Structure formats: C-alpha cells, structure tokens
Amino acid sequence: MKIAIFGLGNFGMALAVHLANTGNDVVVADRNPEKIDLIRDKVSHAVVMDSMNENAYRAVPLKDTDLAIVAISGDEGAAIMTTAIVKNYCRGKIFARSSSKIQDRIFEAMGVDQIIHPEQEFAEQLTKKINLRGSIENFEIEGDYLVSEVEVNPDVVGKTLKEAEFRKNFHLNIITIIRNRKYTNLIGRRADKQEVMGMVKPETKFLEGDVLVVFGKSSDIDKYLKKSKADFAD
C-alpha cells in the first residue's frame, strides 16, 4: 500500500516506521529537517515541507496514494489546514489525528474517512492487554468473547493444525496466522514483512515466530497464555 504521512511527532514517526517495516511504501513530510533526517533511511521517501503551503505538495505523489494520514499534533489549525489541502489532491482514503471534540466535528464535516485519537485508543488497548497478560493484541467481540493475537505455543511448533488438535486442547478457533517473510522493497533494501496467511487448513504447519489470531472466551485465551508462558520458561 502507498501511504503518505504528514507530521512526524512521536505518533507519526512510530506509525511511519511500523508501516514501512510491514511492507508498505511510505512517504513522510514534516517541516523539521532534523526529523526528516532521522527517518530518511527507514521509509521510501522523506520530504521537508510546510504542509500548509499548497505549492509544496508537488513533491508528494498524493494522486497515487492509497492512504494519507495527517498526524500533526499540538497545532489544530495546521492539522485542519493540512487535511483540507490533502483532501483536494488525494484520491485515496484520509485519516486525521484529532485532539478535541471541536476538531472531530470539523473533520467529520470535511468528510475524513477516519478520525484518530492515538492516546485514547492506546489507553483502551493497553487496558485490555494488561487485563489479559501475554496477548499481543485483542479486541472484544461480545460478552466474554475476544479475537486476540497470541504467540504460537512452543509445544505445537513443527506440528500441523490437525496434529496439534488445537481446538480440542485449547478450546480456541484459529482465524488466521501472521507470519514474517523476507522481502526486498522498492529501493532494494531487505526487510521483514508480516503476511496474513488467510484461512488455516488442517495441514498448515506451525512455525516458530508465528502469531496466531484466535477467537474464543477470554478465560480460554488466558489459559492458553499461561500455558505458553510456562512452556517458554521450560
């Protein structure tokens, strides 16, 4: 996916690096040259520019961008102005970071595809992660049921799904597996890319480093995590 990110605060910087490391072509823009220097070798393209200057957008290929993210924080005027300009040039989706209810309403009126609240969303995710220790990521479906990302249990590495009798032993359904693959990006740099394998078949073999996306009761996920922790310790 081709992604453009405007604003390299802590959130924008971390988001850009993570998206680039997972195989996306990421272009970043910020008016601070020191921030651009920090990230230049980690993304496909980095531009020093004032995002409120419409003429500066000639250096950013927004027409070919699948997703534009306005991650500017601390200056609501700059975030709103940047979003308005980006909306004129970007054919893809637009996400914008908001820090107030007023800003939310402005972005809603502008037709932004998704409004981002990093601090609030992180707090909610961290709360769930703390409550379910050992999980990588999870979200609630209904009641006691969760979809959760968990590390593969060492006991099943090398076995197929059928051989491991995963559902019988753990009372969890595997939705898919996220697996690291090596790839070469557009500028020839070797990197790791996380790939979603799709539907898991009975003959699918578990590999070390796999992340399993599972569905089940939170109590069963907790039991799986405790068993995995014990197995890793051994």
pLDDT of 25-68, one tens digit each?
999 999 999 999 999 999 999 999 999 999 998 888 888 899 99
Q: Write down the mean pLDDT value for the chain.
A: 84
* Nearest CA among 28, 22, 23 for reference residue 9: 28
C-alpha–C-alpha distance, residues 34 and 18, integer Å: 19
Answer yes or no: is pLDDT of 126 > 60.
Answer: no
Instruction: Tell me the per-residue pLDDT of 3-15, one tens digit each, with 9 for 90 and over.
Output: 999 999 888 998 9
Interaxial angle between packed helices 76-89 and 101-110, expressed in degrees from 0 to 180 and rounded to the nearest 10: 10
Distance of CA 68 to the CA centre of its chain: 14
Domains of the chain: 2-116 (3.40.50.720), 132-233 (3.30.70.1450)
Query: Is residue 138's pLDDT more than 70?
Result: no
Which SS3 state, helix, strand or coil, does residue 5 take?
strand
Span 84-101, average pLDDT = 91
Reported as half-sphere exposure (CB side, CA atoms, 13 A), residue 4 has a value of 26
Confidence band for 136, pLDDT divided at 50, 70 and 90 = low
Q: How many CB atoms lie within 10 A of CB 209?
A: 12
Q: Find where tokens 């989706």 sit.
A: 93
> ∠ at Cα 143 (141, 146), nearest 5°?
40
Which conformational region is residue 23 in: left (phi greater than 0), alpha (psi within -120 to 50 degrees), or beta?
left
Rg, C-alpha atoms of the chain: 21
Q: Measured between alpha carbons, how far is 224 from 31 in angstroms, rounded to an integer? A: 47
Number of C-beta neighbours around residue 89 at 10 A: 16
Q: What whole-number percentage of the chain has pLDDT above 70?
A: 83
With 80 as the cut, is the pLDDT of residue 231 above it?
no
Higher pLDDT among residues 233 and 98, named by residue: 98
- Please state, in angstroms and rounded to a whole number, the distance separating the CA atoms of residues 170 and 65: 42
H/E stretch holding 30: strand 25-30
The single-letter DSSP state of residue 62 is G
Q: Give the model confidence (pLDDT) of 194-212 as tens digits.
A: 778 888 899 999 999 898 9
The answer to whether 147 touches 214, Cβ cutoff 8 Å, is yes
Tell me the C-alpha distance between 204 and 62, whole Å.
40
Q: Which of 20-34, 116-130, 166-180, 218-232 has the lowest mean pLDDT?
A: 116-130
pLDDT of residue 36: 94
Query: pTM, whole model, 2 decimals?
Result: 0.57
Residue pair 42/203 in contact by the 8 Å Cβ criterion = no
Q: Distance between CA 123 and CA 29 in Å, rounded?
A: 27
Q: Which pLDDT band, with edges at 50, 70 and 90, does 192 fall under? A: low
